[in-house]
Every structure is written in structure tokens, then in C-alpha cells.
Amino acid sequence: MTDTAVLLLSCPDQTGVVATVADFVWRNGGNIIDAEQHTDHTDGVFFQRIEFTLAEFVFARDRLAAAFAPIAERFDMHVDVRYSADRPRLAILASRAPHCLVDLLARWSAGELPADLAVIVSNHPDHADLAGFYGIPFAHLPVESNDGAQELRVRAVLESERVERLVLARYMRILSPEFVDAYPGRIINIHHSFLPAFVGAEPYRQASERGVKVIGATAHYVTADLDEGPIIEQDVTRVSHRHSVEDLARAGRDLEVAVLARAVRADLEHRVLVWGNRTIVFH
């Protein structure tokens, strides 16, 4: 894999941004291999993802951000610098439902998800054999009370494994604000509903009672507000009055695995730029 840098940029929309950024890469020995941009005409904001090679780039990693700083200051730009060679240490948290966990492990094993899978954490023992099959450490941390002790044990495991990013693969526990604050913008959750409809528990039952004609799944970054974080990926499928709650749940599982996988991959490939409570996802 070619070692590349990724710049995720946002600034007030103005002339000269694209040309100046491209000129910076060219003059310093980089070769642009991917560039995407978007202008929000309502808010007057310009967004860009630009990826370029580092093989002949004149600035070392620890100097690149400082070298780009004058351009960022000139255009009042927010800049996030990422590197394709960096593989974050990832943890997957799951409860009893296996489908999202199984899918992520298969994709990770196939090399589709550029991360080092550090640990699988569950409040149930069900996935121990699955974790063993893939050679991933497994932590069974049951919930014995509602005093927050289990969450503290989870955090201790994550810290000991030096985890940088988390995926909630149908982890049916609400994380405390303190937990979320420890991993800002680094926790992805799959919600078995097309948010903002049917937040919270039993969304398929809620959907059935409402008589919906489509059901969906939503992957989003976790914030302290339940199921209200920036949305990364969504999908839907049509249903009808003939579908029972069990039918909806079965159809929903197919959506959940695909939506979560797309969201995790976009995040790990540095294709997501968060703007307020929205995202710009570059494909």
C-alpha cells in the first residue's frame, strides 16, 4: 500500500482554496491520488478531502501540519491531518446479537478494515468462541448492578489495550457522558432504525405499530445525547402490512451489517468530516 497523507479541510467558501492546496502538495513533492470537495451553499462552507503520496514529500510527518498552517490561517481553515499507514487500535463492543460482530470480523480478517483489532468486549459470554477463532482477546464483563461498575471495568480493559476507536456492534448498553467524552468522535454505533425515527429501545416494534412502509438502519457517531450523534451511513428496505415484528427484525439485520460496515470503513479510511451534528462523507 502506498503511504499517503489525507487532509480533511473545512473553511468559508472562497476563491483560491483548491488551487492553493494543490499547489502546496505539488511544490513539496506530493502526488495527489484522490480529491473530493463539497460546497454547502446554505452555510457558505467549503469542504475537501485530498489524499497524496508521501514517498517524495519534503516534509516529515511531524512537520506537515506546521508547514500547512500558513495556508490554514490564510483561509480561516480547520485542518485534520491523517495518514493511511496509521492503523488505529480498535475495540468492538457487542451484546448477544451476533450478526454485526460476525460481519465485522469477517471483513477485518479479509483486510477490508484498516485497523488493529485489539479486543472484543461483551456483557454476555456468547462470543468467546468466535473471538477465539479469530485470535482476538475477549473480555466478558457482565452487568451485575446499575451502579456503573461494569462500565468502569469496560474502560479499564480499553485503556489496558490502548484502544483508540470503538464500534458498538449491537451493544445494548447506554454509555455514560463520561465514557463518551473519553472517546470524542471515535465511537460508532449501529441503530436498528432509520434515525431520527424510532430512537431508543424496540424500534422494530415501534415501526410495526406505526405501520411504516420502509424500515432502515443508521450508523452514527456516539454523543452524550442518545441516538442523536452525527449520522455517517443509512439505508432502507421496503416493508408492508404483511410483515410481523420478527419479519422486520430479520430484514433489518441485513441492513444493519451493511450500514455498519460501510460506516466503519469510511471512518477508518479518513473519509468522514464532521461539521456540527452533520457529516460530509467522501466516497
For the stretch 227-241, pLDDT in tens is 899 999 999 989 888
Q: Which of 107, 119, 205 is nearest to 155 (CA)?
A: 119
What is the overall mean pLDDT for the chain?
94
Domain identity same for 115 and 151: yes
Domain identity same for 260 and 192: yes
pLDDT of 227 reads 84
Domain identity same for 109 and 172: yes
Domain identity same for 23 and 65: yes
CATH number of the CATH domain containing 65: 3.30.70.260
Domain identity same for 45 and 127: no
Residue 279, number of CB atoms within 10 A of its CB: 21
CATH number of the CATH domain containing 102: 3.40.50.170
| Domain extent at residue 59 | 4-83
Answering whether pTM is above 0.95, one says no
Q: Give the number of domains in the chain.
A: 2
Q: What is the pLDDT of residues 121-140, one digit of tens each?
A: 999 999 999 999 999 999 99
Instruction: With cut-offs at 50, 70 and 90, classify the pLDDT of residue 11.
Output: very high
Domain identity same for 123 and 31: no
Residues present in the chain in total? 283
pLDDT of 40 reads 96
d(CA 38, CA 10): 10
Instruction: Please identify which of the residues 76, 227, 235, 247 carries the catalytic annotation.
Output: 227
Final residue belonging to a domain, choices 38, 60, 83: 83
Buried b (16+ CB within 10 A) or exposed e, 162-177: ebbbbbbbbbeeebee
d(CA 220, CA 189): 6
Contact 137, 120 (CB under 8 A): yes
Q: What is the pLDDT of residues 14-73, one digit of tens each?
A: 999 999 999 999 999 999 999 999 999 999 999 999 999 999 999 999 999 999 999 999
pLDDT of 1 reads 58
Q: Is 227 a catalytic residue?
A: yes
Contact 167, 90 (CB under 8 A): yes
pLDDT of 2 reads 76
pLDDT over threshold 80, residue 198? no
